[in-house]
Amino acid sequence: NAGVTQTPKFQVLKTGQSMTLQCAQDMNHNSMYWYRQDPGMGLRLIYYSASEGTTDKGEVPNGYNVSRLNKREFSLRLESAAPSQTSVYFCAGGQVYAEAFFGQGTRLTVV
């Protein structure tokens, strides 16, 4: 039982490049989330999906898109990476009115 798995764990991009961060959960949770973590800023919600087929913006959605491919998978796409998107990205899964469980994170650097 892996819980929440994120790939890749590390990535370096050049400004303007695109990439997709992958997330999969094996806990049969309805809700999934993408957060970014920056020093002193806590965890800020980028997008979330309350259930399969739905996605909604969080606190900092600009520059990102998401896809809830099925109940297990929720991907985050950067269409044109910018240095301001250098961060640690966390995916999480959970039920709507309960706690969420996090993956190990993706450390992204945009140069």
Q: Which is nearer to other proteins, 19 or 100 (CB)?
A: 100
Residue with tokens 């959970």, as numbered in its chain? 94
Nearest approach, Cβ of 13 to other proteins (angstroms)? 21
Binding site for other proteins (CB under 8 A): 4, 31, 33, 35, 40-45, 48, 50, 56, 58-59, 90, 92, 94, 96-105
Q: Which is nearer to other proteins, 26 or 79 (CB)?
A: 26
Q: Which is nearer to other proteins, 56 or 79 (CB)?
A: 56
Q: Which is nearer to other proteins, 28 or 39 (CB)?
A: 39
Nearest approach, Cβ of 51 to other proteins (angstroms)? 9
Cα 18 to the center of its chain, rounded Å: 15
Residue 92's closest CA among 110, 108, 109, 76? 76
Nearest approach, Cβ of 16 to other proteins (angstroms)? 29
Cα–Cα dist 61/14, whole Å: 20
Structure tokens at 13: 């991009």
Q: Does residue 85 contact residue 63 with C-beta atoms inside 8 Å?
A: yes
Nearest approach, Cβ of 10 to other proteins (angstroms)? 11
CB atoms within 10 A of CB 82: 12
